[in-house]
Amino acid sequence: MILGIDVGGTHTDAVLIEGFKIRKKAKIPTDAAHLLNSLLRVATEILTGEDPKKLQRVVLSTTLSTNAIVQGKVERVGMVVAGGPGLSPALLPRIPHTFHITGYVNHRGVIAADIDQEEIKAVGEKLRREGIKHLGVVGKFSTRNPAQELRTAALLSDNFRHVSLGHRMSGHLNFRRRIDTTYLNSAVWESYQRFVNDVLQFVRSQGIEVPIYILKADGGTFDVAKSADSPVQTILSGPAASIMGILSMAKCDEDAVALDIGGTTTDIAVFADGVPLLENLGVTIEGHKTLIRGLRTRSIGLGGDSAVSYEEGRLHVGPRREGPAAALGGPCPTVTDAMIVLKRTAIGDGDLAVASLTPLAKQMGRSVAATAEIIFTEACGKIVAAVRSFIDEINNEPVYTIHEMLAGKIVAPKTLHVMGGPAAAMADALGEMLAYRPVIPQHSEVANAVGAALARTTAEITILADTERRLLTIGEEGVQMEIPSRYTAAQAIAVGAEKLREKALAMGAHPEDLEIEVVENQEFNMVRDMYMAGKNIRVKVQLKPGLISGFTRGQSL
Amino acid sequence: MASTDNKRRRTGLIFFPAFDWAISPTHPEREERLLYTQDQVFEEGLLDFDNISEFKPGLATVADIDRIHICVPEAKSVITESHLISAGGAITAAEKVLSGEVDNAFALVRPPGHHAMRVVHGARGFCNVNIEAIMVEYIRKHYGPKRIAIVDTDCHHGDGTQEIYWHDPNTLCISIHQDGRTLYPGSGFTDEFGGPNALGMTINIPLPPRTSDEGFLYVLEKVIMPILAEYKPDLVINSAGQDNHYTDPITNMRFSAQGYARLNEILAPDIAVLEGGYSIEKALPYVNVGIILAMAGLDYSAVREPDYHAEALRQSDQITRHIERTAAEVMQLWKKRREMKKPLVGSAGYVKRNKHIYYDTDGISEQQEETVRVCDDCGGLVMIDSFADTGRRVFAIIVPGQSCPVCRQEGEAFFARMEKGRHRHIYFQDRDRDIYIAK
């Protein structure tokens, strides 16, 4: 048995899956002030009458860290930043309690200026006097050489509860995002730590002894006990849960688009050959651009509750939401009211829907039915336009080789997966306008919990092998090792695969789920003074988002 | 902060490092060239700024090349896909600026193009086709006739661009470079000043070896900016070589990343196109970050090479005086440009010049006789008899953009009458009508 729980902004869902069939579902409103309570209540409800000994795994998805960031309920973080020359500090993310120290690393990973111990100790003393207990230490190009970050942290760590290190956040280059990501990680560390302890205490009290996993923004899971030092990886896991839900419920091994149509917004995600696309660098939350691997989604301000009005000869549909549909007692006509008039959905009071559209119809000089049709077409049209522009953007992403330029993959979706309240009412029309085959997944009301339940562990490893320096660096692991001057990309890939395996197993991955994929493999001759000085090898390997083994996608749950 | 925000511009970046293309494995123009630039641009997070957007380059077409070049025997035989992409990248930069999507754009692409001349038998100075010229004629074809200034800031004289626009009164070519007596291609002296119909439309400012920021910025402020102010171009293009840098392995100048950034801030080009620059680790990452920040109107004051020492790079007083003299000489010529035609041309109807062109990259030697019709109404009909030691001899008849009726009629008549004879091909190129015929 697998227990999947998604603590979302509005609802908390749980599913119990046995033999890859849904045995039970539960849904309760989320108590935003006490997320843990919602989690415990739904778990207690679904486990009532069940034998906890039969559980094989438990997976959670929670908005805890997301909410903490959105609501600003975070710790003060002292940021110690070694940027060296480049962008002026004014152009870096503006975080209070930031101290710029001397020292930096260049693009080859060579220390270009040393750090100053006395300066660092003085910064530590200042932060300590201000009562700051959480730190972030970030250096430019620290993924190319973590030594200065490690040394700085070692000089400071005694006086602080937690120190987040920039290079551990991601193997990607991006100093500004590294600062923001490290800050967020440290800022939510304390509350996440408490959450993890509470969860573990609860499950143990229930007699559950199997691994507990938590969902990350990229749709992968990791062991909750191992997640404590990287809480920021769990932000925005809600959309990831729903995408993984679609992946589990739909036969999807081709290019496809997934829509989650809510009351206010519609989220769009894209699958390439059945794999959900990830953000190139990382997700954005509350204006913080991060290096958190996350699913690439686009959100538009259009949903079932989008308000409809007619002003100055023009029809407006969304992005405003004034309340629920008029048919459900809301204050103004909405897209849902139009769909009720068109008999595309049977919810609410049909008379109220007609009444709400009547003034609009008069203004437009049309019948109520014709007006409803226009509103419906306009709403679908907006979603369709957003899907098209998203696909265009993906297909026009810059590439850096002639090969990719001429033979690059073009995403050409054929299928449209539609979830959310208005899914049944809109799917056919959207499919027709896009010329995609519309599909409404089963159990879509608990898709998030199902997605969490069945998601496997994901991870990535970034390798730079510099044979001139005889040095191999694994950025996000903080590992540097000596290599011989004759070293090949194949050897780097082998090291990457092995390290990825170790990393994933430590994160709680099941050995059968380790489907390793090489996502970057570049090898450059380094020529100095007209002679071959060495090779610069760049390799990235990953476990891509997917479902746990034993489960065939699209199999009936 | 408000004052810096006001300076912000929307900048387009077309980045195409061609990580799978090289002239040869150890050639300066190789896969690795923009690798560290990519690292630095990514690490600084420049693409995350709201006012900086990256665009995928389009592919230039053979028609785009045939609009400006005479390729022997045809375009496809002298280029590879990489050239279509780098020219396409320049065109994309222009498209984004002219459509108003961005305020300015930087095509950080390779391979480069500024040594490629009008007739192309092969590659010279690492260049096959002239990506700026292809872009300029694309702009004129799609956005109408424009007065365009190309400021070539590569350390090597932009001899290809100069040759292509030698007779064009609507294209001002300014090149600052290391003195041709000390560096490839050995040209670019102050007396190279444009053809009889376009006197003053070619400006050369040779600088002595070891010129530093001070010298470059001096000629920018005392020569280039005043000339631009008077010429009033619709567009300014920076042919942005980065080999004036003090660490460049094949040149002898002392320009810095700060200097490059300041130059681009003052020049404020609408479009910049990467040319040379082969100090791939010590210069390009910093110079490119500086240029992008300057174009986007962001603070670049903290951009600095790790080994930068202003004092060690200072130019001598002797160099300063030399540069001041050169600047004065160029301004003198510029002021007299309108009075020079009569004494130079007299009553001649046509003017000829003979050229020997060496294609160092491909080892080809070409003899050219170029004839231009002396014309007061347009750039003048141009005819070229070109003979390369590959054994290929061709003849080209070129009707200029914004041509007068007489030059067009004469060109058409020449082409109709011309028999192939000893020439392998005869080409006819008409810019205004976008016609390119080979027979």
Residue of A nearest to B58 (CA): A405
Query: Would you call A190 exposed, middle or buried from its count of C-beta atoms within 10 A (0-12, 13-18, 19+)?
Result: middle
Residue of A nearest to B21 (CA): A402
Q: How far is A146 from chain B (nearest CA, A)?
A: 15
Q: Out of A91, A107, A174, whose CB is closest to B299?
A: A91
Active site residues of B: 115
Same fold, A2-71+191-243 and A77-188: no
B16/A398 touch (CB, cutoff 8 Å), yes or no: yes
Mutate to test the interface with B, among A108, A401, A540 (most CBs of B within 10 A): A401
With cut-offs at 50, 70 and 90, classify the pLDDT of residue A553. Answer: low
In CATH, what number does A77-188 get? 3.40.50
Q: How far is A181 from chain B (nearest CA, A)?
A: 13
With cut-offs at 50, 70 and 90, classify the pLDDT of residue A143. Answer: very high
In this prediction, residue A552 carries a pLDDT of 65
A 155-194 near B (Cβ less than 8 A): 172-177
Which chain A residues contact residue B302 at CB under 8 A? 85-89
Residue of A nearest to B248 (CA): A529
pLDDT tens digits along A215-237: 999 999 999 988 989 999 999 88
A2-71+191-243 is a CATH 3.30.420.40 domain: yes
Strands (DSSP E) contained in B49-183 are 52-54, 70-71, 104-109, 119-120, 148-152, 171-178
B302/A87 touch (CB, cutoff 8 Å), yes or no: yes
Q: How far apart are CA B241 and CA B112, in angstroms?
A: 9
pLDDT higher than 50, residue B3: no
Q: In this complex, is the C-beta atom of A521 within 8 Å of any C-beta atom belonging to chain B?
A: no
Q: How far apart are CA B28 and CA A501, in angstroms?
A: 39
Q: Out of B19, B26, B306, whose CB is closest to A527?
A: B26
With cut-offs at 50, 70 and 90, classify the pLDDT of residue A263. Answer: confident
pLDDT tens digits along A435-444: 999 999 888 8
Q: How far apart are CA A165 and CA A138, in angstroms?
A: 6
Sign of CA dihedral A341, A343, A349, A351: positive
pLDDT tens digits along A229-258: 999 999 988 889 989 998 888 777 899 999
As a whole number, mean pLDDT of residues A20-49 equals 91
Helices (H), B122-212: 131-143, 159-164
Which chain A residues contact residue B32 at CB under 8 A? 524-527, 536
Can you name the residues that pair with B437 across neighbouring β-strands? Answer: B428
Question: Cα separations (Å) of B276 from A255, A422, B273?
Answer: 41, 57, 10
What's the token pair of residue A43?
Answer: 């778990």
pLDDT tens digits along A348-403: 999 999 999 999 999 999 999 999 999 999 999 999 999 999 999 999 999 898 88
| Residue tagged 């001649």 (tokens) | B348
With cut-offs at 50, 70 and 90, classify the pLDDT of residue B2. Answer: very low
pLDDT tens digits along B88-104: 999 999 999 999 999 99
Query: Would you call B438 exposed, middle or buried from its count of C-beta atoms within 10 A (0-12, 13-18, 19+)?
Result: middle
B81/A402 touch (CB, cutoff 8 Å), yes or no: yes
In the sheet with B11-16, reading across from the earlier edge strand, the strands are B52-54, B11-16, B104-109, B271-274, B235-240, B148-152, B171-178, B202-207
Under 8 Å CB pairs connecting chains A and B tally to 117
Which chain B residues contact residue A176 at CB under 8 A? 44-45, 48
pLDDT higher than 80, residue B6: no
A525/B32 touch (CB, cutoff 8 Å), yes or no: yes
Question: What's the distance, CA B389 to chain centroid?
Answer: 26
Q: How far apart are CA B24 and CA B30, in angstroms?
A: 7
A85/B36 touch (CB, cutoff 8 Å), yes or no: no
Q: In this complex, is the C-beta atom of A311 within 8 Å of any C-beta atom belonging to chain B?
A: no
Helix (H) or strand (E) holding A414: none
In this prediction, residue A238 carries a pLDDT of 85
A 375-394 near B (Cβ less than 8 A): none
Degrees (nearest 5) of the Cα angle B403, B408, B410? Answer: 140
Which chain B residues contact residue A87 at CB under 8 A? 44-45, 293, 298-299, 302-303
In this prediction, residue B25 carries a pLDDT of 87
pLDDT higher than 90, residue A35: no
pLDDT tens digits along B413-435: 999 999 988 999 999 999 999 99
Mean pLDDT of chain B, nearest integer = 95
Q: Out of A177, A398, A536, whose CB is closest to B35?
A: A536
Q: How far apart are CA B219 and CA A485, in angstroms?
A: 47
Which chain B residues contact residue A174 at CB under 8 A? 42-43, 45, 48
A107/B25 touch (CB, cutoff 8 Å), yes or no: no
pLDDT tens digits along A286-308: 999 999 999 999 989 999 999 99
pLDDT tens digits along B364-395: 999 999 999 999 999 999 999 999 999 999 99
pLDDT tens digits along A117-133: 999 999 999 999 999 99
In CATH, what number does A252-439 get? 3.30.420.40
Q: Out of B1, B32, B42, whose CB is closest to A536?
A: B32
pLDDT tens digits along B157-189: 999 999 999 999 999 999 999 999 999 999 999
Q: Out of B17, B48, B289, whose CB is closest to A176?
A: B48
In this prediction, residue B224 carries a pLDDT of 98
Indicate the pairing of strand A266-272 with strand A256-261: antiparallel
Q: In this complex, is the C-beta atom of A107 within 8 Å of any C-beta atom belonging to chain B?
A: yes
In this prediction, residue A556 carries a pLDDT of 63
Domains annotated on chain B, with CATH: 2-337 (3.40.800.20), 348-438 (no CATH)
B40/A108 touch (CB, cutoff 8 Å), yes or no: no
As a whole number, mean pLDDT of residues B58-71 equals 96
In this prediction, residue A33 carries a pLDDT of 83
Which chain B residues contact residue A175 at CB under 8 A? 43-45
| Residue tagged 């009707």 (tokens) | B399
Q: In this complex, is the C-beta atom of A396 within 8 Å of any C-beta atom belonging to chain B?
A: yes
* Domain range annotation of chain A: 2-71+191-243, 77-188, 252-439, 456-543
Cis previous bond, A484, omega within 30: no
Q: In this complex, is the C-beta atom of A506 within 8 Å of any C-beta atom belonging to chain B?
A: no
Which chain A residues contact residue B101 at CB under 8 A? none
Residue of A nearest to B257 (CA): A86
DSSP A228-243: TT-GGGGTTHHHHHHH
Mutate to test the interface with A, among B43, B56, B291 (most CBs of A within 10 A): B43
Q: How far is A402 from chain B (nearest CA, A)?
A: 6
Q: How far is A290 from chain B (nearest CA, A)?
A: 10
Which chain A residues contact residue B310 at CB under 8 A? none
Question: Cα separations (Å) of B225 from A311, B7, B10, B149, B222?
Answer: 51, 19, 23, 11, 7
Q: How far apart are CA A455 and CA A238, in angstroms?
A: 13
A3, A16 contact by CB (below 8 A):
yes
As a whole number, mean pLDDT of residues B219-242 equals 97
Which chain B residues contact residue A405 at CB under 8 A? 16, 57, 59, 81, 85
Q: In this complex, is the C-beta atom of B377 within 8 Å of any C-beta atom belonging to chain A?
A: no
Q: Out of A289, A402, A522, whose CB is closest to B18?
A: A402
pLDDT tens digits along B295-318: 999 999 999 999 999 999 999 999
B54/A112 touch (CB, cutoff 8 Å), yes or no: no
Q: In this complex, is the C-beta atom of A466 within 8 Å of any C-beta atom belonging to chain B?
A: no
Which chain B residues contact residue A88 at CB under 8 A? 299, 301-302
Mean pLDDT of chain A, nearest integer = 93
Q: How far apart are CA B200 and CA A258, in angstroms?
A: 61
With cut-offs at 50, 70 and 90, classify the pLDDT of residue A262. Answer: confident
pLDDT higher than 50, residue B1: no
* Model ipTM over 0.95: no
With cut-offs at 50, 70 and 90, classify the pLDDT of residue A106. Answer: very high
Q: How far apart are CA B7 and CA B26, in angstroms?
A: 42
